[in-house]
């Protein structure tokens, strides 16, 4: 039962997939970061007014579409 050690070799297609994934991640951060900055201000304003932020957090945590839904419904979350 002498087995040779298994080595992991990263091939060019794997690196290309990783690069594409990193590009998609960078675009997502570039889109969502300004939205979340606006949301942080609204969260602070609601907390200072004594209102809860549960629904706001629930919307923001929806995968992919949460911050976009927040922008569309932002007037309902403002104080």
What is the rounded CA–CA span in Å between residue 78 and residue 4? 63
Identify whether the C-beta of residue 36 lies closer than 8 Å to the C-beta of residue 29.
no
Tens of pLDDT along 50-70?
A: 999 999 999 998 887 888 899
What is the rounded CA–CA span in Å between residue 78 and residue 7? 55
Identify whether the C-beta of residue 71 lies closer than 8 Å to the C-beta of residue 35.
yes
Tens of pLDDT along 22-45?
A: 999 999 889 889 998 999 999 999
Is pTM beyond 0.75 here?
A: no
**9: pLDDT strictly greater than 80:** no
Identify whether the C-beta of residue 70 lies closer than 8 Å to the C-beta of residue 60.
yes
The stretch 8-27 carries a mean pLDDT of: 81
pLDDT at position 4 is: 61
């Amino acid at each position: 039962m002498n087995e040779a050690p298994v080595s992991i070799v990263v091939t060019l297609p794997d690196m290309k997939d990783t690069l594409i994934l990193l590009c998609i991640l960078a675009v997502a951060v570039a889109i969502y970061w300004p939205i979340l900055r606006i949301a942080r201000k609204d969260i602070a304003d609601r907390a200072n007014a004594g209102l809860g932020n549960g629904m706001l957090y629930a919307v923001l945590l929806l995968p992919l579409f949460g911050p976009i839904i927040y922008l569309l419904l932002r007037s309902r979350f403002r104080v």
